[in-house]
Amino acid sequence: MKIKYKTLIFTSKKYDLRIKNSFKKIIRTKIRKKNCSHKINKPKSPMARKQKYEILLEKSIIFPQSLKKISTFILELEEKIGLGHIMIRLNKLTQIDNLSILILTALIYKAFGNNKLKRNKKRIPREKNINSRLEAIGFWEALCFNPPKIKKYTEFLKVTRVPINESKNDFHLEIINFFSDKIALNESQKDALFDAVFEASANSIEHSRSVTDAWFLGFYDEENNQIELAFYDTGVGIFSSIDEMEEDRFKKMLLKIRGIFGKEKMLKLLCTTHLSKYKKDRISIKSGIRGNGMPSYIRSAKEISENHLTYIEVMTDNYLYSSYNNETKKIKYYLKGTLIRWVINISRGFNE
């Protein structure tokens, strides 16, 4: 390409050459820009072009009254994922209980497809006691790739994800030891608790199917002087999992019970009556594949209740069974998945 330029009057040849080279540089730059498939000023970070979305968690989150708030928060989160850069704001949080932390951890983890998040100090709770509890309970460790380094807290059994494809649940003994450190348990009580924990973890994994996870959490409530253990799965819930079962005699029996007695009595029967489909499968029970059914929860509560007030609660959809009064009630709060909870009051006997 020939570059045409006018020779300036009263200039040297050297200066004319400089002008000629500058014209060439301008033309080359224009050609390069025209042939480029991307902009010259490409942003350094791929997230810089994406729109930013801030998802705010409500000030007060208490189980089960705040289940609707949690559902709204997770729904908004799921709608924004993939559209831009998501920032979760917890800095307005002033009150949250441990069960709500467990449920939030499981649902946030599922929403992000097992991808770790970045913990931002500007968006953590301003209340120091809440933030320190989130640290101790393992909330940041479960969700973030940059959790704070903290010491081990004896009053918490950290919120932990149980992979579905994990056949051996080695955390059972850790749970039993956590209880044994707080209260004295004889061998019979330890065996009953072990069976109940084994069945709870197996049920959580089975109900969560292949696309979600089961979680558990243990903690000591100093204010009420009681120990709590909870298993939570983010699956379809007990009733929907029955609908998805393979057609066999066991499924037909359960559907018949639900049709005659309704969901309330059905949940109570599942918790108190030996209706497990593994009831006659002694090989599965002896080999450790499955436990002795949901009544093992009640058995563990009765064993420990000889010394301490103990009860279990099973919640799925909007139904809650409690062994404290041996009743199931329909509540106005809806829970996605299934929650199994033990409460052991250290200072009280059952009749106190």
DSSP string, 87-117: EEE-TT--EE-HHHHHHHHHHHHHHTTT--B
Q: How far apart are CA 275 and CA 252, in angstroms?
A: 12
Per-residue model confidence (pLDDT) at position 284 = 43
Is the same domain home to 116 and 188?
no
Is the same domain home to 110 and 22?
no
Rounded to the nearest integer, the mean pLDDT of the chain is 79
Is the same domain home to 142 and 257?
no
User: For the segment 222-252, what is each residue's pLDDT rounded down to a tens digit?
Assistant: 888 889 999 998 888 888 888 877 888 878 8
Is the same domain home to 29 and 137?
no
Is the same domain home to 337 and 206?
yes
Q: How far apart are CA 182 and CA 343, in angstroms?
A: 13
Instruction: Please give the structure tokens belonging to residue 176.
Output: 């039993």
Domain count, the chain: 3
| Range(s) of the domain holding residue 205 | 158-352
Q: Number of helices (H) and strands (E), helices first, in the chain?
A: 11, 9
CB 64 within 8 A of CB 333: yes
- Of the three residues 120, 153, 186, the one that is the final residue of a domain is 153
- Of the three residues 100, 125, 153, the one that is the final residue of a domain is 153
Is the same domain home to 52 and 116?
yes
Is the same domain home to 235 and 262?
yes
Is the same domain home to 216 and 115?
no
Can you give the CATH number for the domain in which 241 is found?
A: 3.30.565.10
What is the distance of C-alpha 2 from the center of its chain?
68
Q: How far apart are CA 143 and CA 267, in angstroms?
A: 32
Is the same domain home to 31 and 141?
no
Is the same domain home to 94 and 170?
no
Taking the whole predicted model, whether its pTM rises above 0.85 is answered as no
Query: pLDDT 10s per residue in the chain (352 long)?
Result: 444 544 444 445 555 666 667 767 777 776 666 655 444 455 555 555 678 888 999 899 999 999 999 999 999 999 988 888 888 999 999 999 999 999 999 999 988 887 888 898 889 998 889 998 999 999 999 999 888 887 777 778 888 887 555 545 567 788 888 888 888 888 888 888 888 888 887 777 766 554 557 888 998 888 888 899 999 988 888 888 888 778 888 788 888 888 888 888 888 888 888 765 555 544 444 444 444 667 788 888 888 888 888 899 999 999 999 998 989 999 888 998 899 999 988 875 544 4
Is the same domain home to 107 and 195?
no
Burial of 82 (0-12, 13-18, 19+ CB in 10 A): exposed
What is the distance of C-alpha 211 from the center of its chain?
13
Q: How far apart are CA 335 and CA 343, in angstroms?
A: 19
Is the same domain home to 232 and 323?
yes
User: For the segment 167-218, what is each residue's pLDDT rounded down to a tens digit?
Assistant: 455 677 888 888 888 888 888 888 888 888 888 877 777 665 545 578 889 9
Helix (H, G, I), strand (E, B) or coil at 275: coil
- Of the three residues 125, 153, 181, the one that is the final residue of a domain is 153
